Amino acid sequence: MSTNSIKIFSGNAHPDLAYLIARRLGLDLGKVVVSKYSNQETSVTIGESVRDEDVFLVQSGCGEINDNLMELLIMINACKTASARRITAVMPCFPYARQDKKDKSRAPISAKLVANMLTVAGADHVITMDLHASQIQGFFNIPVDNLYAEPSVLKYIRDHVPNWSTDSVIVSPDAGGAKRATSIADRLGIDFAIIHKERKKANEVSRMVLVGDVKGKAAILVDDMADTCGTLCLAAKTLVDHGASAVYAIVTHGILSGKALQAINDSPLTQVVVTNTIPHDDKKVKCPKLATIDISATLAEAIRRTHNGESVSYLFTHAPE
């Protein structure tokens, strides 16, 4: 009888992160060939036996997002039909997470569709990080472990922001993120403020309203996601106009698409800190203000604990060293 051992495979979305996770666990990545036919269909070959194994597939939602999702689904299905005992999809950044509600008439809830697709493909468990809305856990019929980057963010602030305890304020760049901001502000024991895009009159360009005080302090903007960075840069400008001495932005998922890098370079932001749920090494060259928080340890620890059947709730409040 073989003992139920652990196998980690990586798709093409973020092999560097998968490597960091595997190295921390003292494992090698499993052999898998993911290629494309000439008509752009994805083809997956799992290069080693997964029969009765505990399989973890690391694939983030980034870059060529649909190709990467398709890759993940096919990999899950390949492992399922190859008699894997359990298949856990490790998705540091969950694709389509922003489409989680009918915010307009006839809007699709695509996050639910992705959840259904993962389940149908054969996933038994999902590990992800900082879901755009934690209600997405309810879209699945399988267990979802939503990890938090918050402990790592707190550590970063304590280590890197000068005089954080007396001279800084946590700021939410929109109303929806107020809860995230207050949670961080509470943990650090510092004040918080909120920025809101307000439309006072029809036909007037929306303006930013700051609720709270940032005068003479370093403002730390926190959010779960930064894409084109339009809101973030406008928020930074508003904060500087209101007397903030420096503006940091700490974001879990740095998608940074479109003109984001140019916008950050031109903005008064002092530093933009993102985690490595999404690859951004090439972007760091173009944008010197970018800095990284490595969260591979949190994911690795979650994988280890899931495999061993231990509780993961410790990771909600502590960043592994």
Q: What angle do CA 49, 21, 134 make, to 5 degrees?
A: 105
| Radius of gyration over every alpha carbon of the chain, rounded to an integer in angstroms | 21
Max CA separation in the chain (angstroms): 72
Which CB atom, from 182 or from 228, has the smaller least distance to other proteins? 182
CB of 221 to other proteins, least distance (A): 15
CB of 216 to other proteins, least distance (A): 10
CB of 281 to other proteins, least distance (A): 33
CB of 178 to other proteins, least distance (A): 4
Cα(87)–Cα(128) distance, rounded to whole angstroms? 14
**274 is written with which tokens?**
């993102």
How many Cβ atoms are within 10 Å of 2's Cβ, its own excluded? 8
Does the CA dihedral 178-181-184-190 come out positive or negative?
negative
**220 is written with which tokens?**
């730390």
Strand pairing category for 290-293 and 6-10: unpaired
CB of 81 to other proteins, least distance (A): 26
CB of 192 to other proteins, least distance (A): 7
Which CB atom, from 133 or from 287, has the smaller least distance to other proteins? 133
Helix 65-81 vs helix 110-121: crossing angle, to nearest 10 = 30
CB of 319 to other proteins, least distance (A): 16
Find residue 55's DSSP bridge partners.
Answer: 7, 87
Which CB atom, from 136 or from 278, has the smaller least distance to other proteins? 136
Which CB atom, from 243 or from 258, has the smaller least distance to other proteins? 243
Which CB atom, from 209 or from 285, has the smaller least distance to other proteins? 209
Which CB atom, from 176 or from 288, has the smaller least distance to other proteins? 176
Q: Which residues of 262-272 are buried (b: 16+ CB within 10 A; e: fewer)?
A: ebbeebebbbb
CB of 312 to other proteins, least distance (A): 8
Which CB atom, from 19 or from 140, has the smaller least distance to other proteins? 140
For 33, 138, 317, the CA distances from 179, given in Å and listed in that order, are 42, 19, 16
Does the CA dihedral 287-194-159-319 come out positive or negative?
negative
Cα(72)–Cα(208) distance, rounded to whole angstroms? 40
How many Cβ atoms are within 10 Å of 3's Cβ, its own excluded? 6
Q: Which spans of this chain sit near other proteins (rule: CB under 8 A)?
A: 100-103, 105-106, 109, 111-112, 133-139, 146, 166, 175-176, 178-179, 181-182, 185-187, 189-194, 196, 198-201, 209, 211-212, 311, 313, 316
Which CB atom, from 196 or from 237, has the smaller least distance to other proteins? 196
